[in-house]
Structure 1
Amino acid sequence: MEIGLGLPVGAPESLPDWARAAEAHGFSTLALLDRLTYHNPEPLTALAVLAGATRRIRLQTEVLLAPLRETALLAKQVATLDRMSGGRFVLGVGVGGRDDDHRAAGTPINRRGRLLDDRLTALRQIWDGQPYRDTVIGPRPSTPGGPPILIGGFAPAALRRVARHADGFLCAAALSWAGPLVETVREQWTEAGRTGRPRLVTQINVAAGSAGSIAQARRAVEDYYAFTGRPGWGEPVSDPAELADTVAAHREFGADELILYCWGDDPRQVEHLAAVLR
C-alpha cells in the first residue's frame, strides 16, 4: 500500500516546503482538497507550483469540484498540468455537497451529478483529440486519453459513476462503513465489463509534531467540518501507536493507497509522520 499526504490549506506559501519534504521521505502523492468559498488555495494552480518543486511524487486533487468549472477550460488546465508534470497528475473529482460553493459559482446544486457526468464524458473526448463544440482544444495530455481519474462520493449515483468514467474510487468513509461502498463499486465495475479492478484510495485526518501543531490541526478540522453539526467529526489521529494501527487496518482492508490528510501548517510534520511509518 502506498501512502500519500493531503496537504494543509491554511498557509499556501508553505506548500513547496511540504512537497519537497514529502518527496524526500518517500511519500507517494501530494493531494489537495477543493472548495470555492473556503480559504484553501485553488488546487490546480497550487499543484502546478508543486510540480515545479518536485520531480517524482504524484499530484492529486482530492477532490476537484468539477461541476463548478467550465468544461473546455478545465480540460485545458488539466492537460497542461499533466504535460508539465511529466504525467504525474491524478484527477480526483466529485460533485461537492456545500450549497455555498455552488451558489458562488452559479451552478444549480440539484444538477451537480448531471453536470459532472457531462464534464467527464467531454474531458475524455477533448483529451483524445476529438472536437468539442466544433473545435479541437489542446494541448494533448502526456498520458494517453488523459490522466487517471478517481471519483469520490458516498451516494449510489457517485458509486455508479466510477465504473462509467473513472479508473478508481476515492473512499473518504471510515473503515467501519466503507466496506459496502467498495463492494458496490467493484460489483458495478465487473457488471460494466471493465477488466481488472478499480484503484482504491482511502484517507484519514492526521496531526503530528509539537503540541501546538496538533492543537492547530484539531482547530482546523473543527472549523472545516463545523457545517455538519457533529462535534468531533473528522478528529485527526495524533497518537503514533494509533496511527500505525490505523495504517495497518487500511492495508488489511485492501487500499492501494492511503492519504494522510494534514491540517497544521508546520511542514516538519512530514518528518514526524515518516518516522511513525518506518
Structure 2
Amino acid sequence: MTLPVMEPDLDGATLKQWARIVDDGPFSSLCWGERIAFGNPDSSTLLGAVAAWTDRVRLVTTVVVPQLHDPVMLAKALATGDMLSGGRLTVGIGVGGRKEDYDAVGADIATQTMRGMAERVAIMKRVWAGEKVTESVLPVGPPPARVGGPPLLVGTIGPKTVRSAAQWADGMAGTTLDLDVGQQNALFDVARAAWSAAGKPKPHLATSFWFAMGEGDGPRAQMHRHLRRYMNWIPAEFVDAMAPTTGWTGDEDDLREVLRAFEAIGTDEVHLIPTSADVDQLRRVADVAADFI
C-alpha cells in the first residue's frame, strides 16, 4: 500500500494513521513516491517517520530519483532509514519523468538517463560497502542493515531500462496505467531473461496502479480529480482523455479479480496507489489483501 502523499491538505496525523493501519497487516510493504515541485513530503524525512511509526512492514521508495540528490548524502539518508527500521528498507529508483523537478534543485536534465542513474547507484553502493569516497578519516556511515545496502528495484515501464538495470538492481517496481496484464507479463519476461543473462537470481517483480474503491460513478470521478492534480505537468485535455481508462475503480470483488490476474502471471507484489486519503478505502482494500497472504 502506498501512502497518500500526493493528496492535498495532508498532516502528520493522517500519514501516521495510514502507516499504522498498513503495518497492522495484511500488507507486505508501505510505499511512497517522490516529487520536488509539488506539495508532497520530503522522501528521506518521511522515511525516518515511517521507520518510527511501523514495526513489521517493509518500507519501499517508489521511486526516489538519485539525480535529484547528492548521491553520497542520499546513500547516507537511506542507510540511516534502513538502520532505524531494522533493515526493512527497499529502495525503488527511477530517472524521474518531470523536468521541473530537475530544475527545482538545479540538477542537470542531461543526467535524466539510465547511465546517469547507474553512475549514482554505483556511488551509493560504494558508500554502503564502507568504502571511502573521499580522503576522509572515516567512511560515510551509518552502515546499512544488509551487507551491500538495501535491495534495489528499478522503477520503469520500458524494456530497455529493465535490461540496463539487471546489472545492479534486485528487481523492478513498474507501473501500469491501464492494467493490461499481458503487457505487464511481457515486461516481466524481459526482466526474467535479463536477470538470468546476468547470472543473477530471479528478480523481484512488482507493479503498481492507482485505485479508487467504491460503488457507482464516485470512484471514477475521484480518480479523475486525482489525475488532474497529480499530472499537473501534462495539458489538462490529455489528462481528461486518459482518465476514463487509467487506474482501477470498483468494489472488493472487482479488486480480488484484478489481483488474481496479476498473481497468475507471477507478480510478487502489487503496490496500490490511493487517490484519496480516506482511511475507509484503505480498510476496504485491507480486507481484500487478506485473501492473498
TM normalised by structure 1 equals 0.91
2:90 maps to amino acid? V
Q: Which residue of 1 aligns with 2:250?
A: 238
Q: Distance in 2 between matches of 1:235 and 1:155?
A: 18
Q: Distance in 2 between matches of 1:120 and 1:110?
A: 17
Is 1:162–2:165 an aligned residue pair?
Answer: yes
Query: 1:90 aligns to what SS in structure 2?
Result: strand
Q: Which residue of 2 aligns with 1:120?
A: 121
Is 1:6–2:18 an aligned residue pair?
Answer: no
Identity of aligned residues (%): 32
Q: CA deviation at 1:212?
A: 11
Q: CA deviation at 1:222?
A: 3.0
- 8 Å contact from structure 1 (residues 213, 265) kept in 2: no
Q: CA deviation at 1:217?
A: 4.7
Q: Distance in 2 between matches of 1:146 and 1:94?
A: 17
Q: 1:47 to 1:210 in 2, by over 3 A?
A: farther
Q: 1:167 to 1:12 in 2, by over 3 A?
A: farther
**Alpha-carbon deviations, 1:244-269, whole Å to 9, x = none?**
11111110011111111112012232
Q: CA deviation at 1:144?
A: 1.1
Q: Which residue of 1 aligns with 2:34?
A: 34
Query: 1:185 aligns to what SS in structure 2?
Result: helix
Q: Which residue of 2 aligns with 1:203?
A: 208
**Alpha-carbon deviations, 1:192-226, whole Å to 9, x = none?**
121x2100011121122688984545411332135
**Alpha-carbon deviations, 1:22-80, whole Å to 9, x = none?**
12232111100111112111122112111111111111100111110101100100000
Q: Which residue of 2 aligns with 1:64?
A: 64
Q: 1:211 to 1:131 in 2, by over 3 A?
A: farther
2:173 maps to amino acid? L
Higher relative contact order (CA 8 A, sep 6+): 1
2:274 maps to amino acid? C
Q: Which residue of 2 aligns with 1:95?
A: 95
Q: Which residue of 1 aligns with 2:195?
A: 189
- 8 Å contact from structure 2 (residues 215, 250) kept in 1: no
Equivalent of 1:251, from 240, 263, 270?
A: 263
- 8 Å contact from structure 2 (residues 171, 204) kept in 1: yes
Q: Which residue of 1 aligns with 2:277?
A: 265
Q: Distance in 1 between matches of 2:146 and 2:216?
A: 43
Query: 2:167 aligns to what SS in structure 1?
Result: helix
Q: 1:262 to 1:213 in 2, by over 3 A?
A: farther
Query: 1:186 aligns to what SS in structure 2?
Result: helix
TM normalised by structure 2 equals 0.86
Is 1:47–2:59 an aligned residue pair?
Answer: no
Q: Distance in 2 between matches of 1:276 and 1:128?
A: 40
Q: Which residue of 1 aligns with 2:185?
A: 179
Is 1:23–2:28 an aligned residue pair?
Answer: no
Q: Distance in 1 between matches of 2:11 and 2:31?
A: 13
Query: 1:237 aligns to what SS in structure 2?
Result: strand
Q: Distance in 2 between matches of 1:259 and 1:46?
A: 18
Q: 1:151 to 1:246 in 2, by over 3 A?
A: same
Query: 1:56 aligns to what SS in structure 2?
Result: coil
Query: 2:49 aligns to what SS in structure 1?
Result: helix
1:171 maps to amino acid? G
Q: Distance in 2 between matches of 1:239 and 1:159?
A: 33
CA-atom RMSD, angstroms? 2.1
**Alpha-carbon deviations, 1:151-177, whole Å to 9, x = none?**
011344421232111111112133242
2:129 maps to amino acid? D
